[in-house]
Homo-oligomer: A and B are copies of this chain.
Amino acid sequence: MTKDGGKQDKKAAQYGVTPQSADFNDWYNEVVKKADLADNSPVAGAMVVRPYGSALWENIVRWLDDRFKATGHESLVFPTLIPMGFIMKEADHVEGFAPELFTVNKIGTEELAEPYVMRPTSETIIGHMWSGWLNSYRDLPFLHYQWGSVFRAELRTKAFLRTSEFFWHEGHTAHADEPEARAEVRQMLDIYHEFCRDILALPVVRGEKTASERFAGAVATYSIEGMMRDGKALQSGTSHYLGQNFSRAFDVKFQTREQKEEFAHTTSWAISSRIIGAIIMTHGDDFGLIMPPRIAPIQVVVIPVGRKDNFDQMVEEGEKLAAELRAQGLRVKVDKRDGVTNGFKYNNWELKGVPVRIELGPRDLESGVVVVKNRNGEEKETLARAEAVSGMTARLDEIHDWLYGRATEYLLNHTLTVDTYEAFQEAIEGGNWVRAYHCGDAACEKSIKDDTKATTRNVPLDDAEFFHEAGEGVCVKCGRPSAYGKRVIFGRQY
């Protein structure tokens, strides 16, 4: 029984979602399905995204796309297929991706001598095209990105988190020199951070990946890492400095101002549909989802509460109220369903995580009030109708802040600073992240992973919000001097 005297247990049982505390994995799968975010598909490893999930993804796409354009990036569309031989050209890249490839061996009636693969990522084919487009330093920078699906074989599927086909943007840029390329890598990481903090209410840690966790073919990989409510990490976005690795492999060179020939410095960066998993697992509770208000497909749901003889009238009044809210730019739904109880509707929209619910009944109408309930609060409030309307944006902002605050508290409470391997193991086993000094040796990292299933998440940047203090010590595992000049974050991950 939970501390609210069983109210929560009862509601959860009524609606039929396994509580988080009972089984986080079951909770996740049930919420995804019952909230109509996604469904299983007949294609191994792939999901079907249903309208509510698709609307959420569209809002994510729109915000990011606007930001990319505002920072001078241009969208392109590259083919879904890539000649198999391209993947083989960059040594680390092929090693990283070969085991996950989807192979196309026949087009129409023609058996292919050289097969194609469905893109696992597009560095190779983009490098090939850039090679043809790039002549002079005057052509640079290339600031490109595309939205689309990518394909990487997954054996154990989990909607949004691990699917063989997933959706993302992949940014690809080419620059005349390293500092400019590195500034781009950092700019995009910061945009991802801003997006998570200000739009999704997700606290994330910006940092650099250790060598063994780098993208296949990168010189440096930066990530934002978020903590889910089971203490696991979810890498929520990455930004890579690729050096000249791909430009050498694909002959992406240009004439410099000094008339010399030089290979371009390239970057790539991405946020994928996994971020929806982060939203679910950071904000959800035993009742279901809690949608961060600024990205929520439906920000306010209006429930007309009537009997048979006045239901149509209440629906009409609900539509009037919705129109006033929409006039403020809000996304509002009126639940006009007939033949289901109000209780069912309340639970249904709580499960779907709509931030604010307004109930409107005949007596409320007479008194000029409405009943308002925040998804994150226990209490209903009765407010003057005009006040409810005019205060709605501020209310949504408050919910945003509450979500960000709660998730930050969780992150801080579940990140333990340890100096012994025993404490390390205990902390990981208890569903926490660990901050520890590490020697920087890949073999040592691997032995920690073998012992605990925890990997390095990242080394926080100096200006990261959390966990960035400088310091030196000895490796928590092997006792050698620490690398990185600060503690590294370890955790189990999705």
Contacts and interface: CB of A to CB of B under 8 A. Distances in A.
Contact of A46 (B41, B81, B102, B165): B81
B165 A79 contact: yes
A77 B160 CA distance: 12
B106 A43 contact: no
Contacts of A149: 80, 148-149
Nearest to A105: B105
A165 B80 contact: yes
Given A77-B57, A99-B108, A104-B104, A83 B129 contact: no
Contacts of A81: 43, 46, 102, 165
A118 interface: yes
A129 B104 CA distance: 25
Interface in A148-178: 148-149, 151, 153, 164-165, 167
A79 B43 contact: yes
Interface in A51-78: 51, 53-55, 57-58, 74-78
A125 B76 contact: no
Interface residues of A, number: 57
Interface of A is mostly: mixed
Contacts of A77: 48-49, 53-54, 57, 167
Contacts of A46: 79-81
A34 B80 CA distance: 24
Contact of A42 (B47, B83, B108): B83
A105 B103 CA distance: 6
Q: List 3 A-B pairs, minimum CB-CB distance, nearest first.
A: A108-B153, A51-B74, A46-B79
Given A55-B74, A148-B149, 10 more contacts: A42-B83, A42-B128, A43-B82, A48-B79, A49-B77, A57-B77, A100-B108, A103-B104, A107-B153, A149-B149
29 contacts: A39-B129, A39-B133, A41-B125, A42-B86, A42-B128, A43-B81, A43-B125, A46-B79, A46-B80, A47-B79, A48-B79, A48-B129, A50-B76, A51-B76, A54-B76, A55-B74, A77-B167, A80-B80, A80-B165, A101-B107, A102-B106, A102-B107, A103-B104, A103-B105, A103-B106, A104-B105, A105-B106, A110-B153, A138-B339
